[in-house]
Amino acid sequence: MSLPHPPVSTTRPLFGQVAVVTGASRGIGRAIALALGRAGAHVVVNYRTSAQAAAHVVEQIRATGGKAVAVQADVTDPRQVEQLMDAAVALGPPRILVNNAGTAKSRLLLDTTLEEWEELLKSNLTAPFLCCKAILPHMLREQYGRIINISSIWGIAGGSYEVAYSASKGGIIAFTKALAKEVARAGITVNAVAPGAIETEMLAMLSAEERQALESETPVGRLGHPDDVSHAVLFLASPSASFMTGQVISPNGGLVT
């Protein structure tokens, strides 16, 4: 059994730690995978359909001297989640899980179908539930773990035309706080990162006017970069963040305070 508090290197503080990042083929997940890789983690780059993009992320991590492997799995499917975690465990005890994979849809509540509602809850809430259930036995055995759930400012403040998305992202905040209490004594921390508007393909659904409005409403005067999120995740994933649990960190440029 490995030590509950592994020795920390200042240059590669996550050296050798197996880290699973869901939805890491692009956007925020990609930035998180690269940051964890630079910090020395052995990264499991999960993707659903973007095999080529995921392979490129793996190449980039290896190019900086890190270790990574791409694993295809739809994280809304319990069987595929088990396979994803089996692939991680084959590399060593998984110490870090970042539940990043998610989908968004902008709709008035009255235009939202039951199928759309269920789809959003499945990808943004059920998937993290499945991933946590599958990884926790390994973390409990090691008495160490770092779980980071990617929420959204709309999970804190509620987004207009995004009732279903906001409900799923608010749900993951409550999930985070409750699970943090359940596993705290086992050396496992559970935190949420709730980004503001970040430049990724997810923002493609916004019109030019909507983007501009978001930019000017954001006190720092710009949209976020995926690395604005990965920096927060890197902190929460580090062994030294052992007193941070059940918290929500929101890199949002001051949009929601």
Nearer to ligand NAP, 206 or 244 (CB): 206
* Pair 82, 133: CB distance under 8 Å: no
For residue 36, state whether it binds ligand NAP (rule: CB under 6 A).
Answer: no
Give the C-alpha separation, 60 to 173, whole Å: 31
H or E element that contains 36: helix 27-38
The full 3-state SS of 179-232, as one line of letters, equals: HHHHHHHHCEEEEEECCCCECCHHHHHCCHHHHHHHHHHCCCCCCECHHHHHHH
Instruction: Calculate the CA dihedral of residues 88, 247, 174, 121 and round it to 10 degrees.
Output: -50
- The footprint of ligand NAP on residues 125-144 (CB under 6 A) is 127
Catalytic residue status for 165: yes
Q: Which of 43, 85, 104, 163 binds ligand NAP (CB under 6 A)?
A: 104
Q: Of 6 and 199, which has the nearer Cβ to ligand NAP?
A: 199
Region 190-249 residues binding ligand NAP, contact defined as CB under 6 A? 195, 197-198, 200-203
For the chain, how many residues are written?
A: 257
Q: Which stretch binds ligand NAP (CB under 6 A): 7-15, 48-56, 85-93, 175-183?
A: 48-56
Binding to ligand NAP (CB under 6 A) within 74-103 occurs at 74-76, 100-103
Closer residue to ligand NAP, CB minimum distance, 40 or 253: 253
* Residue nearer to ligand NAP on the CB measure, 180 or 193: 193
Strands 188-193 and 145-150 turn out to be parallel
- CA-CA distances (angstroms) from residue 250 to 128, 220, 235? 19, 14, 13
Residues that bind ligand NAP (CB under 6 A): 22-23, 25-29, 46-50, 74-76, 100-104, 123, 127, 150, 152, 195, 197-198, 200-203
Which amino acids are annotated catalytic? 165
